[in-house]
Amino acid sequence: MIYLFLLILVVLDQYTKSYARIQLKGKSRKRLGPLKLAYVENRGGAMGFLKKHPRILAFLHTGTLILVLSLYLYEKKAFTGKAFGYLLIFTGGLGNLIDRIKRGYVIDFYSFPYLRLPYFNLADLYVFIGLILILLYP
């Protein structure tokens, strides 16, 4: 059941990115409550890391997914918040890896302008929530 939920999260991530590409690409920024929406092609990792080396980035991305999956398999004996955190990180990483393979970049489109955060997407949010769970359930 949990794997179906995670599959739905990946599909939702891909859908929102496609929707953002269709609705926001080439258009001015929009507001949606506290969010600022704009189409951004992130060709690097976090904060543009390795954007001039996409193959190295894809290799590191894949290696990180394998590591996170291994940590989940180790933790899943007693399914806890920590194990779920690893699954969320894997799910988010998979969503962004699909973009890298399919498009050569990750689509970002949300931002909180008052917090001065960079643009992000649902997959990034999954990773963030997963990290919080891992910190809360040591």
For the annotated catalytic residues, the residue numbers are 108, 124
In three state form, how does the secondary structure of the chain look? CHHHHHHHHHHHHHHHHHHHHHHHCCCCCEEECCEEEEEEEECCCHHHCCCCCHHHHHHHHHHHHHHHHHHHHHHHHHCCHHHHHHHHHHHHHHHHHHHHHHHCCEEEEEECHHHCCCCECHHHHHHHHHHHHHHHCC
